[in-house]
Structure 1
Amino acid sequence: MFGKDDLVDNLSRDLDRVRGRRDALASEATTLTAHIAELEARLSEEKKRRERDRVLGEIEAIKTRIKHASSAFTPVVDGLCKAIEPAAAVMPEARELNSFLLSVATEIDTVLDPLLRGLDQRADAVRAGDPALDLPSLAYEAPIVPPVEPRDNNERMLRFPAWLSRDKEAEKKETESA
């Protein structure tokens, strides 16, 4: 009988040790699960922060390109208008072209400020934590720089496509509404 009691005692001790290991492993599994959840939350926040930074960078790049292009556009229109003025003495249609260029420049100035303010509002919304906009990555192009001197000294008369010429009915509507 003595051997049977030793076997029972050994099995009992082994069972207690195995249960102790199981409980320790279960506790460690719970701790690891909590740690994994914490790391996943931190990873998710970091991904959101990086996406916000990417979107803010894209918005700033868009604004920079718009400002740069508009600052290059103004001197070109001004130069065209000055170049066209002497042609008005020879061709009365040159006054129309000059007027058209000035109206285009004015329209661009009118629309540009609200566009830039809208981009600022989008950036503020992203900073505030609103869902990030899904912007495509910008292809960074060479900056727009106005030419210093004309490439060709034999300047030709500018010819605009039909869709750029002013429609007489549109002019009548503008004068009637004014």
Structure 2
Amino acid sequence: MLEDSRSGRRDDNLENSLKIHHLTEEKRNLDANYDKLVEDVNQLLSTQQERVMDLSYMKVNAHGAESSSSIVSVMQSEIDKKEAEIMEVKGKYSVLMNLAESQGRVIRTQKANHLKEKEKLSEENYNLKVQVDKLTKSEDKLNDDIVVLNLHIDGLKKGIRNLIKRRDELKLQIADQLKALEKNEEKLKMIRDILDG
């Protein structure tokens, strides 16, 4: 389960990194578009100012006045278009910034959770190592005790073999004593028979 959880977090982090990368690219493109639109609007405004100044020095006839007002209205519509595009880019930029900020919060939260989990796992790992060390020491002590017990058992086995040998020797001595007793009894009987007889 722990490996699955880690793998899932890794996949989420990779997915979030890809999203952030794409969002960063989109932000760069939007910034470039925004800068280009601002430049276009500034250029348009400066062009409009130059034309207005040029028109003020020229003699304006009726036809010229109509044509300059149509130019001004075309320019005004282009300015309005550019301003609408700028507003749209600003909106996208704002959405993108909010998304990036949200992604950052999520990543920071995941990182904090990951660090907490890592600390917890490190602590559990340390506790397990301490327990393993205790068990290893206990096992070594038990092995030493087993060696001592085996030595005692070997000593006891030798003692039992010696006792059995001694018992067998005593049995032989008792048998010899019984034979000698029987011979002595026979001799005693013979002596009695001689004395009685």
Q: Same fold (TM over 0.5)?
A: no
Which of 1 and 2 has greater Rg? 2
Structure with the larger helix share:
2
TM-score norm. by structure 1 comes to: 0.42
TM-score norm. by structure 2 comes to: 0.39
